Structure 1
Amino acid sequence: MGQTKSENLILVTRDPMGIAYVTINRPKSLNSLTRSMMADMAQGFKSLDKDESVLVIILSGSGRAFCSGVDLTSAEDVFKGDVKDVETDTVAQMERCRKPIIGAISGFAVTAGFEIALACDVLVAAKGAKFIDTHARFGIFPSWGLSQKLSRIIGPNRAREVSMAATPITAEQGERWGLVNHVVEEGELLKKARAIAEAMIKNNQDLVLRYKAVINDGLKLDLGHALALEKERAHDYYNGMTKEQFKKMQEFIAARSSKKPSSKL
């Protein structure tokens, strides 16, 4: 990432296991986003996507909030800039990222912060966390996907109330509605996110990347076309496999099936 004055506001670290951590680090302002922070975050995800040592990404915020949205003291600079510039678009780069992104949500995910959470592939939330859409309250038009993604996840009627009445979604409601995968104690948030990341790392990494892509690409289509997409990519995948790869697959399955099944469920 470039040497900019906001670089320390978006922290990117990597561990030896292949997990990268992106942390929004402006806690005194509840992690509100400036234009330069958005650009740094976009470039952070772009670089992690290219880094072959990175297998899974965990996104979180420092302090009392995940992200309280755009810093409205610089609103005109943010909203009237080149909003179509993909290189500096945080959500566009998250959506382009091939690696799984796990969002660890504590405190508040508000408006743009909510949209960043929706760009994650899996969400873990701490008890007491809230997702709030204040676009309508402040006269801001959504441009990072909230108006389209939320209704597809929790249903249009719920989404209308959340967005048009600025009604918060608690972590627990989010879990019931399919927005949040897990709700945990605050102190367990990153531990749970890491556990999910580690489970993903144990699997075939080529398939993990392909699975993320086919799920996310299929969500943009109607079911018929999505099923055709899956079939097409499956054929491409198997046609690209060598006899040696098929042999290894068969040996792996045989070794697994020969083990005694566990008595534990």
Structure 2
Amino acid sequence: MATKAPENEKIQIDVRPGGIAWVKINRPESLNSLTRQMIIDLARGFRSLDADDSVKVIVIHGAGRAFCSGVDLTAAEDVFKGDVRDVDTDTVFQMDRCRKPIIGAVNGFAVTAGFEICLACDILVAGRDAKFVDTHSRFGIFPSWGLSQKLARVIGPNRAREVSLSSMVVTAEVAERWGLVNHVVEPSDVLKKAQEIAERIVKNNHDLVLRYKAVINDGLKVSLGDALALEKEKAHIFYDGMTREQFEQMKKFIAGRSSKPSSKM
């Protein structure tokens, strides 16, 4: 049964049959800038989707001409004071702890807080019109959703310094070349491409998808040696917990796949 929010809600969550949940930032008249309540609703939304067993993959996107133009600076004090320390209402914290794969579908501007939401996604699809901008330095706002740490780990420290200290615009093509986004498509195809990726993920073993995302993301937080040891530890736990019946099912699945004729590329 699909769950759909009313059109007038600023954060819309649509859980559709098949396991894909769609999160829409729905304030197009302000390029989807975030109010305090929208940040709270996003955080609660991701927390709820993480706990929903029917949800396998989450896609987040923006309405209209932008993904998210950042925090609504007309209410900056209301947003920044106090709430930044509350993990229950911290959108990026809840995205980071979400076990489900998150796909960001980015059209138009992803600015500052919008950029940070993109960095909390596991996979990014961008329209050719997408532009990523960090304006913390321009407006005198200290980052608190991870941009100062995550961006350097994705595109390298020198590029990250230029992006953040000069507030330069990173186009979709440059973002793809730097490894920030996975795919660049026509703006009209962004949601379609995100859905294609989500559907491929849904077809896989959900338990393994959750474990795989966790070991990749946890491994990125430590040295390579520690990450390899972490993978080995998680693998032993996984296989030790498998029953004989599960091993038999695995063998049958592999046998069935190998018996099918291979398609020529």
Q: How high is the TM-score relative to the length of structure 1?
A: 0.96
Runs of 4+ in 1 over 2 A off after TM superposition: none
Structure 1 alignment gaps of length 5 or more: 1-6
Contact residue 24 and residue 61 of structure 2 kept, 8 A: yes
2:125–2:193: 8 Å Cα contact kept in structure 1? Answer: yes
CA deviations on 1:204-238 (whole Å, 9 max, x unpaired) are 01000111111111111110111111000000000
The answer on 1:239 being equivalent to 2:240 is: yes
The residue number in structure 1 matching 2:125 is 124
Which whole-Å CA distance do the structure 2 matches of 1:259 and 1:23 have between them? 40
Q: Check the 8 A contact 2:83/2:90 in 1, yes or no.
A: no
Tell me what 1:65 maps to: 66
Residue 248 of structure 1 aligns with an amino acid whose one-letter code is Q
The 3-state SS of whatever aligns with 1:8 is coil
Number of the residue aligned with 1:46: 47
What are the within-5 Å matches in structure 2 for residues 1-265 of structure 1?
Answer: 8-263=9-264, 265=265
- Shift of the alpha carbon at 1:33? 0.5
**Secondary structure at 2:104 match in 1:** strand
Relative to structure 2, which stretch is displaced further, 118-127 or 254-263? 254-263
Instruction: Write the distance in 1 (CA, Å) between the matches of 2:155 and 2:198.
Output: 24
Compute the displacement of 1:193 (Å): 0.2
Aligned residues: 259
- Counterpart amino acid of residue 97 in structure 1: C
Deviation at 1:82, TM superposition (A): 3.2
Secondary structure class of the residue paired with 1:13: strand
Q: Secondary structure at the match of 1:57?
A: strand
Structure 2 CA distance for aligned equivalents of residues 96 and 82 of structure 1: 18
SS of 1:128's partner is coil
* Amino acid in the other structure paired with 1:108: F
TM-score w.r.t. length of structure 2: 0.96
Query: In structure 2, what is the Cα distance between the partners aligned to 1:82 and 1:13?
Result: 26
Q: Percent identity?
A: 71
Q: How far is the alpha carbon of 1:262 from its aligned partner?
A: 1.5
Secondary structure of 2:60's match? strand
Question: Deviation of residue 38 (structure 1)?
Answer: 0.3
C-alpha separation in 1, matches of 2:22 and 2:168: 30
Quick one: distance in 2 between partners of 1:230 and 1:33?
A: 37
The Cα offsets for residues 123-158 of structure 1, whole Å up to 9 and x where unpaired, read as 000011100000000000101000111011001111
Contact map agreement 2:109 2:130 (CA 8 A) in 1 = yes
2 CA distance for matches of 1:141 and 1:217? 26
Give the aligned residue type for 2:44: Q
Amino acid at match of 2:146: G
Local SS of the residue matching 2:222 = coil
* SS of residue in 2 equivalent to 1:178: coil
